[in-house]
């Protein structure tokens, strides 16, 4: 777990003499503003070999004190010229913190206050651990369904500038009411580097703790493997497709 307020900026990603590569933003753990948003479509073009910077952060805020730090961290990232940002999950502490709707609304506000496109992938503290009594005793799968609605209802990233993403829309995962698309699994390309998110969790990946769910794990694990294999294929030989717009209205 990260215990300090920090983020990593990858500087000067130079790929002039490299084949197309892939970076997987995987999870071992995991508001709206009135400002106008702009759409960024990542594609190969005349600037594909140019260096760029990205901001990686996550595992916070875990306390009220860190709430102030998050605001300052966002201000810092907004002062940089970032191609995109990515939060690797865990919007709160794992115990003694409610998984209520207000949690996700606050996080959405943080993401949409970022100037650069904001990617997010859920963490165990956000949903698998929500069935703990100290977190409110929620149904973990219902909380994941809710995250899918709040953060992943379209094929665009979050943030003031939006990045078009490819989405795993095939219904391979499980929700409260049965099979659903794994819309939290995303893929996008900046320059010649392909990035992807996979919903892989800490706390035994939903196989232990308060209410383990082997069926949910098995479905999501198979979906993750399929998405990862396809991402390697896309990274080497991009498919001749563009992101398919969609909107998730209910699960």
- Of 110, 128, 126, nearest in space to 118 by CA: 110
Q: What span, in angstroms and rounded, lies between the C-alpha atoms of 83 and 15?
A: 15
In a structure prediction context, what are the per-residue pLDDT tens digits for the chain, which is 251 residues long? 333 344 444 433 333 333 333 344 443 233 222 233 466 555 444 467 899 999 999 999 999 889 999 999 999 999 999 999 999 999 999 999 999 999 999 999 999 999 999 999 999 999 999 999 999 999 999 999 999 999 999 999 999 999 999 999 999 999 999 999 999 999 999 998 999 999 999 889 999 999 999 999 999 999 999 999 999 999 987 555 555 666 666 65
| Residue ranges covered by each domain of the chain | 8-236
Its pTM stands at 0.82
Polymer length in residues for the chain: 251
Q: State whether residue 198 is helix, strand or coil.
A: strand
Q: State whether residue 133 is helix, strand or coil.
A: helix
pLDDT of residue 89: 97
Question: What does the DSSP 8-state code read for residue 152?
Answer: -
pLDDT of residue 10: 40
Dihedral angle, C-alpha 142, 69, 40, 89, nearest 10 °: -30
Distance, C-alpha 49 to centroid of its chain: 25
Q: What span, in angstroms and rounded, lies between the C-alpha atoms of 119 and 106?
A: 16
């Amino acid at each position: 777990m990260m215990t300090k307020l920090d983020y990593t900026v990858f500087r000067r990603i130079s790929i002039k003499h490299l084949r197309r590569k892939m970076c997987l933003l995987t999870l071992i753990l995991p508001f709206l503003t009135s400002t106008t948003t702009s759409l960024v479509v990542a594609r190969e073009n005349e600037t594909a070999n140019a260096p760029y910077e990205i901001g990686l952060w996550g595992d916070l805020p875990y306390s009220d004190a860190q709430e102030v730090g998050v605001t300052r961290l966002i201000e810092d990232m907004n002062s940089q010229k970032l191609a995109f940002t990515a939060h690797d999950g865990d919007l709160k502490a794992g115990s003694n913190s409610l998984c209520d709707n207000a949690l996700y609304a606050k996080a959405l506000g943080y993401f949409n206050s970022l100037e650069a496109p904001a990617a997010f992938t859920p963490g165990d503290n956000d949903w698998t651990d929500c069935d703990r009594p100290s977190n409110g005793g929620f149904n973990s799968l219902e909380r994941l369904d809710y995250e899918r609605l709040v953060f992943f209802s379209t094929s665009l990233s979050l943030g003031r500038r939006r990045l078009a993403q490819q989405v795993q829309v095939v219904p391979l995962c499980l929700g409260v009411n049965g099979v659903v698309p794994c819309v939290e699994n995303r893929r996008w390309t900046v320059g010649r580097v392909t990035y992807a998110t996979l919903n892989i969790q800490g706390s035994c990946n939903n196989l232990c703790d308060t209410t383990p769910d082997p069926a949910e794990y098995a479905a999501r694990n198979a979906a993750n493997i399929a998405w990862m294999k396809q991402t390697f294929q896309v990274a080497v030989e991009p498919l001749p497709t563009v992101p398919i717009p969609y909107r998730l209205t209910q699960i």
